[in-house]
Each structure stands twice: as C-alpha cells, then as structure tokens.
C-alpha cells in the first residue's frame, strides 16, 4: 500500500475527492426514461447494510474472567512493541514475496464471507508477521519515534509503516477466523487480544492518523468477536468485555500531537523559520501555499504558485496587514518583531495563529464523552464569527477571478474534530453491542426465547450506551428467535452522515 502521509494531506485529499465527485454529479445531464430502465439498480447505502449474527445459548460464568481481552500480566514483558511490529513489516516476514493480485482479491473475499462458508485450510496471509504482532502486543509500551519525526517534518512527515501494520492486522483477522473454525479457541483468543492491544499501542503515538488507523484495526477485531459469539461452544465474553479499558483507544494526547505537527511545519517553513529573514517574494509564495490548508464549501482550496496567483495575493496582503498587526499585538507579539518582518510574513503568522486556534477550539472536546463532543462541535460550527477575540467577519476575503474566498473560516478543523469523535463513538458503541449480544446468549441459556426488552436483562449490569447519542442502543424483538439492534446519531445531525448508523440482526439457534 502507498505510504500514509500526515493527517493534513489525507483529510484534505478525502475532502477534495468528495467535493470533486459532488461537482461531477451535479454537472451530469438528466437521464432519459429509456436510460433509467437500463441503469443498474442502486447499491445499498451504508445505512442499509445489516450485520447478521446467529447466536447460541451460553451462560456467563465467573471463570470467564480468567481469559481477558487484552494480554494478561503473566504474558507481558518489558519492551517496545514497535520493534516486533516493524520486524513483521519487513520483506522477510511480511509475506510480500508471496503477494499476488489474485491472493489479495481472495483475502478480501475471505474477510467478507460468512464464517461457515470458509475453508480454514485455504486461508493464507503473512503468517510470520501475525505472530510477531502477537509478540508485540504483549510488550509494556510502544514508541515509533513519532514525536522526533514530526518535530523535523511537520505536516510533511511520512508514516508509511502504519499502512503495513493495518495490512498485518487484516492477516491477523484471517488467522483468527481460521482458528475459530478449527475450534482452537485459545489461539483465536490470543489473536483477538493482539487485535485490541496493537490498536491501543498505535493510538498512543499522538496525531489523528494514528488514531484513525488504530480504530480501523480495532473494528476489524470486533468483527472477529462477531465470529466468536456465533459459535455454539465458545465462552461468553461478557466478563472480559467489562474489564476492557474504556475508551479503548488513547485520545488524551491527540490534540497536543496534532498541534505539534502543524506548528512544526505548514507549507515549507516551521513556526520559528517564519520569523527569519525572508524576501517578499518568498513570503508571498509561502503565504499562498499555507492558504491551501483551507477547505471552502467542502472543496480543497488549491492555489498553484503561478504568477497570476501571486499578483492576486499582493492586494490581499495589503488589506490584511493592518488587521494582522493589530491582532498579533493583542496576542503578545512585540511591535519591533512585527516591524522586522515583511507584510506577507506578518499575514502568514496571523493566518497560522487563526488556524491553530480553530484546531484548539474544536479539539478541546476530545476528552469528553463522544455524544457530548458531537453536540458541542456541532454548536461551535454555528458560531464561526469570532475566535479568541478576533472578529472573523471583518477580515478581508481573498479575491481571484471574480470569486471571494474566505480563507479564515476553514472547514478542516471542525471536520477533523468531528471525524475523530465519530470514529471513537462508532468503536465504543460496537463494543457495547457485543456485550449486549453476550447478555442475550446468557439469557437464552435459561429461557426458550429472546427477551421482550433489555429491561429483562437484570442478572448482570448492562452497558447499553449508544455513544453517538448518550442513550441506550435500540433493541427490538421481532419474534421469539429474532431481534434487531440499532445505534447511531439522529437523522439530520449536522456533520454526521448515514455511514455512522449501525444495524444488527440477531437470530437465536438452540
């Protein structure tokens, strides 16, 4: 897989592609009736996709506590997990020598197929890398050198190994499915542990891209739990699930790590380098490149360093400079320091200050429960007129080819904050759904049918929180052996699309 760039480039690219797709769709001519008849049926949206799980009765037992879902202390050893993870990514261990397009296509198929349709002996992947990942998951800490790298590279830091780790995690899921089919449940449980411990290690590395990839890995492991609970002779995971740290992934250093990235390099200059001697032309070039960070109406503002763009930046700088000086003085920048810089340098520093303030404004909600953060980030979006005492409305617009571009009201910081919060909510809700399924298995051990409502599940405490709303997940019994579970944000919530809705169909088999 291609190397993963720092978070700025990944998110901006996604936004740009989404905007381009939207514009392309809007420009397509209306189809004629005969064309509509020949058109292929629409593919189901993410909201239409249902996770179907067949369960068997299995009582919750006290001895289940002996098998936690993270590596137990008795198996842990001191050391850096990343050394094992990196070894698994190497040419010798990763299985890249056996890679073929045909094998990759088979892996995708094996991951999506119902468990009973798989032939375990056919499943293949990077075997050595998988076992090195298990070894790494049993280490006490993980350090990939992220801080040192981002201090040097800023937003241009390359993080290619994260993609390789996710690929290993996919192979781990294949191996887990195989072990469950072969009824080697102790080995399968070791793999599930690794599939939760490795994402925790990765999420502790600072920066949003680490957390997003970690969440994707953990979600794949939750899918392995779905395989687990569908077997008639697997232990009940209720007690092991209650012992998991929640939230599962680390978010306490996320904002700090992301700010460090931007402070140490937007465009081609660090914050310190911005104040060094720079020609007016270089300063204009930099200011223009820095403004590319901004997303306008859902589309990346892409400004090439062409002469006509530079000519357009000059009058914008002239308008902005007095306001930039005034606001930077209020924030504590010395007048002598401002006088020693070009107008474009002053504007670039002010522009960066606004951007970082926006990142803090939305990112400050990360430590809160997801449903609180979703609500507050939505409210912040409705009040973009002032920021840390700066009247954003009074700032001039960048004019080019008859268009006015508000480069001080970026959509990037709030989209970044909302994507992180929704990712966290999705994973935590999925874990709660698995816990509810295990309570249903326990209930079925003493009753011939599924309960009418979750209020009947009184034997053990139930964590039913839907982390999108803060309310319980929606359980509905269809008949004696069928029920649905739904979770997700209310329809129409700003900044939240349907792909965050979760739908499950549970079937009980005796």
- More confident call, 236 vs 24: 236
How far apart, in whole angstroms, are the C-alpha atoms of residue 283 and residue 371?
42
Helix axes 208-229, 160-181, angle to 10 degrees: 10
Average pLDDT in the chain:
81
Judged on CB neighbours under 10 Å (0-12, 13-18, 19+), 51 is: middle
pLDDT at 119: 83
The answer to whether 132 and 88 have CB atoms below 8 angstroms apart is yes
Q: Picking from 47-56, 87-96, 253-262, 310-319, which range would have the lowest pLDDT averaged per residue?
A: 87-96
What pLDDT digit, counting tens, does each position of 330-359 carry?
A: 888 888 888 888 888 888 888 888 888 888
pLDDT at 126: 61
pLDDT reading at 10 higher than 70: no
pLDDT band at 245 (very low <50, low <70, confident <90, very high): very high
pLDDT reading at 8 higher than 50: no
pLDDT band at 41 (very low <50, low <70, confident <90, very high): very low
pLDDT band at 65 (very low <50, low <70, confident <90, very high): very high
How far apart, in whole angstroms, are the C-alpha atoms of residue 101 and residue 96?
11
Cis preceding-peptide flag for 247 (omega within 30 of 0): yes
pLDDT reading at 227 higher than 90: yes
The answer to whether 134 and 76 have CB atoms below 8 angstroms apart is no
pLDDT reading at 292 higher than 80: no
pLDDT at 30: 36
pLDDT reading at 185 higher than 90: yes
Nearest in space to 284 (alpha carbons), one of 231, 344, 228, 334: 344
How far apart, in whole angstroms, are the C-alpha atoms of residue 357 and residue 471?
32
pLDDT band at 369 (very low <50, low <70, confident <90, very high): very high
pLDDT reading at 96 higher than 50: yes
pLDDT at 358: 87
The answer to whether 289 and 295 have CB atoms below 8 angstroms apart is no
pLDDT reading at 270 higher than 70: no
pLDDT band at 452 (very low <50, low <70, confident <90, very high): very high
Site of tokens 């005492």 = 389
pLDDT band at 495 (very low <50, low <70, confident <90, very high): low
Nearest in space to 218 (alpha carbons), one of 180, 254, 247: 247
pLDDT at 496: 66
Provide the whole-model pTM: 0.84
Query: Highest mean pLDDT: which of 96-105, 142-151, 288-297?
Result: 142-151
């Amino acid at each position: 897989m291609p190397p993963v760039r720092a978070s700025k480039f990944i998110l901006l690219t996604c936004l740009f592609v989404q905007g381009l797709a939207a514009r392309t769709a809007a420009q397509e001519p209306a189809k004629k009736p005969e064309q509509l008849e020949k058109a292929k049926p629409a593919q189901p949206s993410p909201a239409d996709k249902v996770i179907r799980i067949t369960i068997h009765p299995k009582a919750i037992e006290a001895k289940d506590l002996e098998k936690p879902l993270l590596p137990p202390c008795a198996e842990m050893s001191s050391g850096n997990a990343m050394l094992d993870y990196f070894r698994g990514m190497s040419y010798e261990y990763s299985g890249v020598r056996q890679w073929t397009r045909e094998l990759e296509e088979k892996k995708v198929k094996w991951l999506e197929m119902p468990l009973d349709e798989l032939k375990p002996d056919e499943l293949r992947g990077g075997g050595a890398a998988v076992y090195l990942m298990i070894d790494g998951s049993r280490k006490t800490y993980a350090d990939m050198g992220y801080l040192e790298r981002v201090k040097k590279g800023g937003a241009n830091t390359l993080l290619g190994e994260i993609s390789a780790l996710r690929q290993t995690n996919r192979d781990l899921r294949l191996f887990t499915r195989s072990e469950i089919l072969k009824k080697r449940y102790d080995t399968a449980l070791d793999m599930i542990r690794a599939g939760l411990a490795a994402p925790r290690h990765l999420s502790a590395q600072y920066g949003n891209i680490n957390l997003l990839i970690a969440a994707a890995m953990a979600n794949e492991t939750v899918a392995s739990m779905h395989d687990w609970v569908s077997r008639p002779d697997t232990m009940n995971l209720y007690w092991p699930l209650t012992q998991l740290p929640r939230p599962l992934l680390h978010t306490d250093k996320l904002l700090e790590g992301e700010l460090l990235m931007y402070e140490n390099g937007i465009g081609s200059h660090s914050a310190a380098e911005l104040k060094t001697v720079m020609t007016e032309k270089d300063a204009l070039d930099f200011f223009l490149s820095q403004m590319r960070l901004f997303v306008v109406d859902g589309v990346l503002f892409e400004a090439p360093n062409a002469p006509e763009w530079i000519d357009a930046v000059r009058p914008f700088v002239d308008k902005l400079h007095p306001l930039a000086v005034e606001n930077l003085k209020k924030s504590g920048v010395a007048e002598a320091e401002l006088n020693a810089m070009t107008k474009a340098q002053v504007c670039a520093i002010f522009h960066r200050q606004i951007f970082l303030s926006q990142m803090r404004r939305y990112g400050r909600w990360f430590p809160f429960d997801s449903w609180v953060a979703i609500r507050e980030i939505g409210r912040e979006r409705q009040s973009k007129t002032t920021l840390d005492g700066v009247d954003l409305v009074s700032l001039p617009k960048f004019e080019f080819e008859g268009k006015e571009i508000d480069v001080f009201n970026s959509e990037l910081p709030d989209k970044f904050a909302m994507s992180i919060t929704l990712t966290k909510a999705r994973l935590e809700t999925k874990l709660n759904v698995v816990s509810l399924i295990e309570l249903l298995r326990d209930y079925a051990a003493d009753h011939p049918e599924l309960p009418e409502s979750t209020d009947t599940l009184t034997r053990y405490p139930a964590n039913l929180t839907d982390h999108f709303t803060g309310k319980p997940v929606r359980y509905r019994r269809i008949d004696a052996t069928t029920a649905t579970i739904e979770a997700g944000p209310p329809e129409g919530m700003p900044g939240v699309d349907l792909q965050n809705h979760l739908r499950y169909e549970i079937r009980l088999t005796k």
